[in-house]
Structure 1
Amino acid sequence: MTKKSIIGAFNIKEFGEKKFNNDDVMKIIVKILKRYDIVLCQEVHLSEELIKQLVDKVSTSSIPYSYVSSQPIGRSSYKERYLYLYRSNKWNVLENYAIEKFCNKISRVPYVVRFQNLKKTYIRITLVGCHTHPDNAYDEIKALVNNVYKDIKAKLEKKDRFSFLFNVFYCFGSSCISSNDNEPIIIMGDFNASGSYLNKTKQTELDKILKNNDLMWGIGHSSDTTVASKCNAYDRFVFEIKNKERWIGNTRIFKFDKKLNDKKLSTSVSDHYPIEFELKLDIA
């Protein structure tokens, strides 16, 4: 049986104290979050104390969760946190940071978290969470590819060169942690990449930009990631083509409202569906 971790991204609409105190809504949100080994949450307006309470709600004695969170991010008066919840018995955080150097290009700058698998320490993954501004979706997605991705990739290549030299000069025997020159980088989140925010012409232009950078969409243009009646693929993954087959299994949209049969309750949870993919762990 293939070993895998399920990784998700979920825009939990206006996730603040009011929603947190709604027991019916929170039961559904907690159940959704428990699906994932790692999940990026967006539109988070919770205090640090409420985030800790959320982690407690999601955790059990056998499946503990931890978190890393950005500070409230945004150029305007509207700001939101990026929040990553992760199973602390499976994953460890190596580093996390907001990429402030591109704040002139992206309204809510990306929040990057690099994870390492606890059992297979050579398995590492870099997740780049971003919630683009709907009025500037095309330019911000373009910046995510041409600026943010290239910057992160260059940093990882530098770390990998250092790791290689360390192993050559200082590390002997089987106790050394092997370097992984194909550590996947996943860009993920609500990109507003559809509908009136990103027409077909702009989508086609982005297709070319991704291809020129050896990247691909993980969620297609014809997909539906919204709870609303209209079909729009706002939420996306961007995968590296060279790493797609090696690291990425099934990619899905979790339509949580199908089992609720309660439209009002569904829309109270969010106007977005979570998106998710399987990360393969059977890597030699």
Structure 2
Amino acid sequence: MRHTLVLLLACLAACGVQGASEFKICAFNLQHFGESKAGNDDVMHTLAKIISRCDVSLLQEVRDSKQRAIPMLLERLNKFDIHHQYDAVASERLGRSESYQEQYVFVYRVDTVRVTGKYQYPDSRPGDEDAFSREPFVVRFKAPKTAIKEFVLIPQHTSPTNTSKELEALYDVLQHVKKMWKTENVMLLGDFNADCNYLSKRRREKLRLFTEKDLSWLIKDKTDTTVRSTTSCAYDRILVNGDAFSKAVVPFSAKPFNFQLEYQLTEEEALKVSDHYPVEVLLRNAALKVSFSLSVISLLLFISR
């Protein structure tokens, strides 16, 4: 009996590990993504490999004025990854200058997640005219297979010359969204420019996003999210609001994805894709967890003595 239970323990542990594939959220600054990059076959192949690793990807610096580059990317993704179907939801074109505007784009697997709400934050709020260069495009997702089930993503690509002000205003966006959608399950992510010359430690200590105890910064200071060998800055960040969301995150899973190393690219080749690495985090699966299986079997072992 005891020998049988030990074998069962091993089997269930293995099944639990294999059956609980986690859900991945990514954020990637594509550095001037438009028709030019979309027409580069090598770049698009690398982008397809990177983005197809994620259930949801926030794409930034999308400069697709003719609305051709994102459809081309989706076509490439759906041909590259035959196991999933991809779609996208995009903000309006954002920016103070008509000559330079960007979009936030969320690319997601329609078989693992669906959009249940979207909200374009206005370009001005009472008491603070035009706080953001690129106002957050907030999207709510439902992912039934995750432990958290439903969550909200707030993206932000800050202006390097106005990082402190935008990050401080981002805290107000968080509070507004929590109240509007009556949820605590909110993640903020993107190229915050939250390091090096753009945001000093002294300034960080005064910002509510850094001092609020309910917020967990998953990409830590001193993490390098840049491609260039001459820089080492934690520009790109992910943070989650609330205890429930924090517990739904797989411990130590938040990190940059070094696609240059992974795909054996030269720095020059990698920079044609972007000068940023994507950052990513895993959410726990709602399926049977190994820890639960182990607890049950351990109890049976104890009873069988």
Q: Same fold (TM over 0.5)?
A: yes
Distance between the aligned counterparts of 1:108 and 1:68, measured in 2? 16
**Structure 1 residues 6 and 209: CA distance shift in structure 2, 3 A:** closer
CA-to-partner distance for each residue in 1:31-65, whole Å, 9 max, x for gaps? 11111000000000123333222111111443110
Aligned to 1:272: 276
8 Å CA contact 2:85–2:110 kept in 1: the answer is yes
CA RMSD of aligned residues (A): 2.1
Residue 217 of structure 2 is matched in structure 1 by: 217
Equivalence map 1:223-262=2 (5 Å): 223-229=223-229, 230-249=231-250, 250-258=253-261, 259-262=263-266
- For the pair 1:87 / 2:109, whether they are aligned, the reply is yes
Of 11-20 and 116-125, deviating more is: 116-125
Shift of 1:212: 2.7
- Map residues 7-46 of structure 1 onto 2, 5 A cutoff: 7-46=25-64
2: distance between equivalents of 1:122 and 1:24? 36
How many Å apart are 1:119 and its aligned residue? 5.3
Give, in angstroms, the shift of residue 209 of structure 1. 4.5
For structure 2, the 5+ residue unaligned runs are 1-16, 289-305
Q: CA deviation at 1:261?
A: 3.6
**What runs of 5+ residues in structure 1 fail to find an aligned partner?**
158-180
TM-superposed deviation, 1:20 = 0.8
Task: Give the Cα–Cα distance (whole angstroms) in 1 for the partners of residues 43 and 74 of structure 2.
Answer: 16
Alignment map for 1:183-198 (pairs within 5 Å): 184-198=185-199
Is this contact kept in 2: 1:3–1:282, CA < 8 A?
A: no
**Amino acid of the structure 1 residue aligned with 2:220:** G
Is the Cα contact below 8 Å between 2:95 and 2:101 reproduced in 1?
yes
The size of the alignment, in residue pairs, is 258
Contact 2:154 2:188 in 1 (8 A): yes
Q: 1:204 to 1:283 in 2, by over 3 A?
A: farther
> For the residues of structure 1 that align with 2:209 and 2:35, how far apart are their CA atoms?
39
Query: 2:168 maps to which residue?
Result: 142
Instruction: Identify the match of residue 69 of structure 1 among 60, 68, 90.
Output: 90
- Shift in CA distance, 76/279, structure 1 to aligned 2, threshold 3 Å: same
Flag the 1:237–1:273 CA change in 2: closer, same or farther, 3 A: same
Partner residue of 1:156? 181
Distance (Å, rounded) in 2 between the aligned partners of 1:270 and 1:220: 21
CA change 1:38–1:109 in 2 (3 A) is same
- Larger Rg belongs to: 2
Equivalent in the alignment of 1:110: 136
